[in-house]
């Protein structure tokens, strides 16, 4: 892997190539202009995009890109206009031919494929959604959605049945016989999405698909895409220059500048540890409340009681730790509720003391999972006097989040003047 850690790149810490990477991009360059090979020679390759353009008249589209993308991830490419996002996403299907480097998808090096192999591979593996919809105006919504299957040679009945199903998935049932021109922008983009999905591609490429839409429609489309992806679990490469869109949708984000990747990581890493001033500028308006999760700030509780513990033991423990309430779990660590010293004292006063802590003396409180973002925790802490228990999808106890922790984690770092 040492060849990935190129000293001339600004991107030193690359993730190791792992087996689960579906897309592996190595040392990828694109030079637009005459004789790109001469620029890839030693003297020129280390110059900046601007210097290369001044000296040679060629434009650097991608410079030494190294990237691994895992199957099923929602992967965001972000950067200012002209930073190389479209060049990169298009090179994945060789709508742009890289000048050097390799792209391996599902173990196949697509930079080595001939025209015929490439066509087949594209049809089998990819769906693409563009900013400007790219619909065929003289075909109905149904024919547009079924277009990819027609190209594949699927019989009419079969391809229409499939296309109807995807149109329904994207909320366009009843619009099959209309022409694209009579649909709103949002609906046309739904057709674009349906067309890409009808093929049931493994990898979905989306180049600023929502950029042309009104803010409200755009947000609605984002929500629906999130929901759809929960079900589909496809690999999605999504280009945007909108940080909020990136944070809402992405599992991981790569930030491009002048054809290079300047930072790659989870939304949380990008927002909390921007690599340089360019990234910082991007994330300036990002609220940590939208990216930090309960899992990233949770702590161990002071005490954790087991339901079979006697009320007397529990009370002694709570007194010794000066706690008025405690979380209670069962043998398999499932979270059961909160017990207070008051309710334990009432149990002790009963003529027949129970041997454990009965469910009836527990307060039920709202729980959250590790991926709950802080923004969603605010409303829960405000209506709840206890710390919030964090549980996994089976209800197993993982940790607690307190109001203090939430506010500490979103306050500015230079917090000294804030008491």
* DSSP-based three-state secondary structure for 18: coil
The closest of 64, 59, 9 to 31, measured between CA atoms, is 59
Q: Which residue is nearest to Mg ion (CB)?
A: 86
Nearer CB in complex with ligand ADP: 58/270: 58
Site for ligand ADP in 24-53 (CB under 6 A): 32
Size of the chain in residues: 419
Q: Which tokens is 314 given?
A: 């529990």
Site for ligand ADP in 285-304 (CB under 6 A): none
CA distance 200 to 187: 20
Burial label for 374, CB within 10 Å (0-12, 13-18, 19+), is buried
Nearer CB in complex with Mg ion: 64/86: 86
Nearer CB in complex with ligand ADP: 99/166: 99
Residue 209 interacts with ligand ADP (CB under 6 A): yes or no = no
Which helix (H) or strand (E) covers residue 75, if one does?
Answer: strand 74-79
Nearer CB in complex with ligand ADP: 22/83: 83
Q: Which stretch binds ligand ADP (CB under 6 A): 3-11, 76-84, 150-158, 187-195?
A: 76-84
Instruction: Name which of ligand ADP, Mg ion, none residue 289 binds, using a CB cut-off of 5 to 8 Å depending on partner kind.
Output: none
Instruction: Name which of Mg ion, ligand ADP, none residue 100 binds, using a CB cut-off of 5 to 8 Å depending on partner kind.
Output: none
CA distance 281 to 391: 35
Nearer CB in complex with ligand ADP: 51/345: 51
Instruction: Name which of ligand ADP, Mg ion, none residue 79 binds, using a CB cut-off of 5 to 8 Å depending on partner kind.
Output: ligand ADP
Count of residues near ligand ADP by CB under 6 A: 11
Nearer CB in complex with Mg ion: 46/131: 131
Residue 86 interacts with Mg ion (CB under 5 A): yes or no = yes
Q: Choose, by CB under 6 A, the member of 86, 104, 198, 222 that binds ligand ADP.
A: 86
Beta-ladder partners of 308: none
Q: Are 294 and 368 within 8 A, CB to CB?
A: yes
Q: Please report how close the Cβ of residue 258 comes to ligand ADP at its closest, in angstroms.
A: 8
Residue 83 interacts with ligand ADP (CB under 6 A): yes or no = yes
Which helix (H) or strand (E) covers residue 189, if one does?
Answer: helix 185-198
Residue labelled with tokens 């209309």: 178
Phi-psi label, residue 129: left if phi above 0, alpha if psi -120 to 50, beta otherwise: beta
Residue 84 interacts with ligand ADP (CB under 6 A): yes or no = yes
Q: Please report how close the Cβ of residue 79 comes to ligand ADP at its closest, in angstroms.
A: 5
Q: Please report how close the Cβ of residue 206 comes to ligand ADP at its closest, in angstroms.
A: 13
Q: Are 237 and 205 within 8 A, CB to CB?
A: yes
Phi-psi label, residue 357: left if phi above 0, alpha if psi -120 to 50, beta otherwise: beta
Burial label for 45, CB within 10 Å (0-12, 13-18, 19+), is middle
Chain residues binding Mg ion by CB under 5 A are 86
Which residues of this protein are in contact with ligand ADP, per CB under 6 A?
32, 59, 61, 79, 81-87
């Amino acid at each position: 892997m040492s060849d990935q850690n190129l000293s001339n790149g600004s991107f030193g810490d690359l993730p190791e190539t792992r087996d689960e990477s579906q897309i592996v991009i190595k040392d990828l360059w694109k030079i637009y202009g005459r004789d790109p090979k001469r620029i890839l020679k030693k003297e020129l390759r280390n110059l900046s995009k601007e210097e290369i353009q001044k000296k040679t008249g060629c434009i650097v589209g991608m410079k030494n890109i190294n990237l691994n993308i895992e199957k099923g991830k929602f992967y965001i490419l972000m950067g200012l206009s002209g930073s190389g996002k479209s060049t990169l996403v298009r090179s994945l299907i060789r709508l742009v031919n890289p000048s050097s480097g390799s792209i391996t998808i599902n173990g196949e090096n697509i930079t080595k494929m001939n025209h015929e192999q490439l066509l087949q591979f594209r049809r089998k593996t990819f769906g693409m959604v563009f900013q400007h919809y790219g619909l065929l105006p003289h075909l109905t919504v149904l024919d547009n959605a079924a277009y990819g299957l027609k190209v594949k040679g699927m019989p009419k009945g079969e391809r229409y049945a499939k296309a109807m199903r995807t149109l329904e998935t994207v909320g366009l049932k009843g619009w099959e016989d209309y022409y694209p021109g009579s649909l709103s922008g949002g609906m046309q983009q739904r057709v674009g999405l349906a067309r890409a999905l009808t093929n049931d591609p493994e990898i979905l490429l989306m180049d600023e698909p929502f950029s042309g839409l009104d803010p409200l429609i755009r947000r609605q489309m984002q929500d629906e895409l999130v929901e759809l992806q929960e079900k589909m679990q496809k690999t999605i490469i999504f280009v945007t220059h909108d940080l909020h869109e990136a944070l809402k949708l992405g599992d991981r984000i790569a930030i491009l500048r002048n054809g290079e990747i300047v930072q790659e990581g989870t939304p949380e890493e990008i927002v909390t540890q921007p690599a340089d001033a360019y990234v910082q500028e991007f994330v300036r308006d990002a609220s940590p409340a939208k990216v930090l999760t309960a899992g990233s700030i949770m702590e161990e509780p002071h005490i954790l009681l087991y339901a079979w513990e006697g009320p007397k033991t529990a009370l002694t423990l709570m007194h010794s730790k000066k706690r008025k309430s405690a979380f209670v779990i069962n043998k398999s660590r499932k979270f059961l509720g909160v017990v207070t010293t008051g309710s334990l004292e009432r149990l002790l006063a009963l003529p027949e003391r129970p041997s454990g802590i009965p469910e009836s003396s527990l307060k039920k409180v709202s729980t959250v999972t590790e991926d709950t973002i802080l923004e969603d925790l605010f409303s829960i802490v405000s209506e709840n006097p206890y710390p919030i228990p964090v549980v996994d999808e089976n209800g197993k106890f993982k940790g607690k989040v307190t109001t203090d922790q939430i506010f500490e984690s979103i306050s500015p770092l230079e917090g000294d003047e804030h008491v």
